[in-house]
Amino acid sequence: MPKIDVDWTKCNGCGTCVEICPASVFELQDRPDYPDSKKSVPVRADDCILCLTCATSCPTGAITVEE
């Protein structure tokens, strides 16, 4: 199973990963520690197909994916 990590200190909540992921792995959610914007959360990591589109498309470099 892939390990998907989102660095919420870098994530700006733009939603690029949500829009571009072919497996619909991500959702934008409110996080209590980050009240200024929603953060990307890999809610369906088991569905990841390791295409790395999220990591390469994230404008802030907040997403890493490992096998």
3-state secondary structure of 16: helix
- Read off the pLDDT of residues 36-63 as tens digits, 9 standing for 90 and up: 999 999 999 999 999 999 999 999 999 9
Identify the structural domains of the chain with CATH numbers, from first to last.
3-66 (3.30.70.20)
Residue 31 C-alpha from the chain's centroid: 13
What tokens does 46 get? Answer: 């088991």
pLDDT > 90? residue 65: yes
Tell me what the mean pLDDT of segment 16-27 comes to. 98
Q: How confident is the model at residue 1 (pLDDT cuts 50, 70, 90)?
A: confident
Rounded distance between C-alpha atoms, residue 16 and residue 39, angstroms: 11
Mean predicted lDDT score pLDDT of the chain:
97
